[in-house]
Amino acid sequence: MTLRALLKGAGGTAVALVLAAAFASAQAQQTLVVPFAGPLTGPIATYGLEPLHGAMLAAEDINKAGGLKAGPWKGVQIKIEQYDDRGDPQESANIAQKLILNKDLTVLIGHIFSGNCLSALPIYEKAKVTMATPICSNPKVTQSGFKYVARVTQDENANGVAQVELATKSLKGKKLGFLWANQDFGKGLFEIASAHAKKNNIQFVAEPYNEKETDFKAILNRFKAAGVDQITHLGFYTEAALQARQAKEVGLNVPFFAGPGVVSPEFIKLGGKDVEGVIVMDFMQESMNSPKLQELEKRVKDGFKEQLNLYHRNGYDVMNFVAAGLEGAKSKSHEDVNASMRAVSIKGLNYDLKLSPEGTLIVPLDKMDQYYFLKTVKGGKFVDYKP
């Protein structure tokens, strides 16, 4: 009997439904959803949108090349689904609870801020879903015993040491004024930076500040009275622009040296002329010699009307990292996917992507100059710093 005859018979409707379901299932198997969770709206959305856009471009490259190249999902295309946690740790936990309802989900990209990662991680851990983060840098993310986390970026242990090294050796600071954000990211970074400074007999004074605070003059005046010769900023651009302006207003005319949380075009938009000369620590040079980075810069500008920076690169790298983990998995089980993620060793856009046993990016201390670079704001944009 032909298919046409079957469809005309009494059971035709049932057969048609079975065939439609089979077709839909075949279609679904050709696409693997990888969720991306981070702040996509609100005043700090740039931190989520930039790595999201980088990941989207990497997924586009993977799909154009025929999808995943090996493993249990060989030939399958990547589809990124977006989840907006608004930078709110409770919303990150809510998203995690929703995502783990999908028993087939083995990996996601996110979250972005350390507080968000720490809020969501216990939920993913219980469900054995690997969280591959492109930004979360608090050491607790990988030092709290979690087995289902992959941090594909430098952590604060490396960042804090690097910023003090650059502050004193490259920028010649003798007495540092640590100005740190009083939340998970800033506090974690300050603990590492201050410990390294103490260990190396480097003089410093320190003051915390709260997010959404607007008047920093009392802190800056105390820095001035203490005789600091550099403001070493450990926080985000949202307050840093105002702090740089107010430092000038109180007459604290010393170098303002900020960490990677300030590397965003939004910092320059907020600060205008007042942030000219601010120095930042970044993970990527502006003068990009790599053809791949130059190509990515053009695609970011054409596709998203954004200026390429390290968060686009981080997103691009983490998507390729996740793809390599999926390709190397022995099966589709959560355990096998996670084991494969922990064993990934590939070349990223700038440096090698390989994790420690705890799940964090390995940054050789004797090769820090390959991972960290100085920039300054000049003419309304970030340029490579030259003394």
Instruction: Tell me: do 180 and 128 sit in the same domain.
Output: no
DSSP 76: P
pLDDT of residue 15: 42
Q: How many domains does the chain have?
A: 2
310-328 and 46-64 are packed helices; what angle lies between their axes, rounded to 10 degrees?
A: 50
Instruction: Tell me: do 175 and 275 sit in the same domain.
Output: yes
CATH number for position 276: 3.40.50.2300
Range of the domain at 91: 27-154+289-355
Phi and psi torsions of 383, nearest 5°: -130, 160
- Averaged pLDDT of the chain: 91
Secondary structure E strands in the chain: 31-38, 77-84, 107-110, 130-133, 149-151, 175-181, 203-209, 230-234, 256-258, 279-282, 345-347, 352-354, 373-378, 381-384
What's the mean pLDDT in 103-130? 97
Inter-residue contact 181 to 208 (CB < 8 Å): yes
Note the pLDDT tens digit of each residue in 290-327: 889 899 999 999 999 998 888 999 999 999 999 999 99
Has residue 20 been placed in a domain?
no
Note the pLDDT tens digit of each residue in 159-190: 999 999 999 999 999 999 999 999 888 998 99
Instruction: Tell me: do 31 and 84 sit in the same domain.
Output: yes
Note the pLDDT tens digit of each residue in 269-284: 999 999 999 999 988 7
Has residue 13 been placed in a domain?
no
Has residue 259 been placed in a domain?
yes
Instruction: Tell me: do 108 and 36 sit in the same domain.
Output: yes
Instruction: Tell me: do 186 and 266 sit in the same domain.
Output: yes
Instruction: Tell me: do 82 and 116 sit in the same domain.
Output: yes
Instruction: Tell me: do 269 and 319 sit in the same domain.
Output: no
Instruction: Tell me: do 129 and 217 sit in the same domain.
Output: no
157-161, 232-236, 356-360, 377-381: which range is least confident on average? 157-161
Instruction: Find where tokens 């107010």 sit.
Output: 246
pLDDT of residue 288: 66
Q: How far apart are CA 230 and CA 159, in angstroms?
A: 18
Has residue 85 been placed in a domain?
yes
pLDDT of residue 66: 97
Inter-residue contact 53 to 46 (CB < 8 Å): no
Predicted confidence band at 29 (pLDDT cuts at 50, 70, 90)?
low
Q: How far apart are CA 140 and CA 112, in angstroms?
A: 14
Instruction: Tell me: do 82 and 230 sit in the same domain.
Output: no
Instruction: Tell me: do 51 and 147 sit in the same domain.
Output: yes
Instruction: Tell me: do 298 and 149 sit in the same domain.
Output: yes
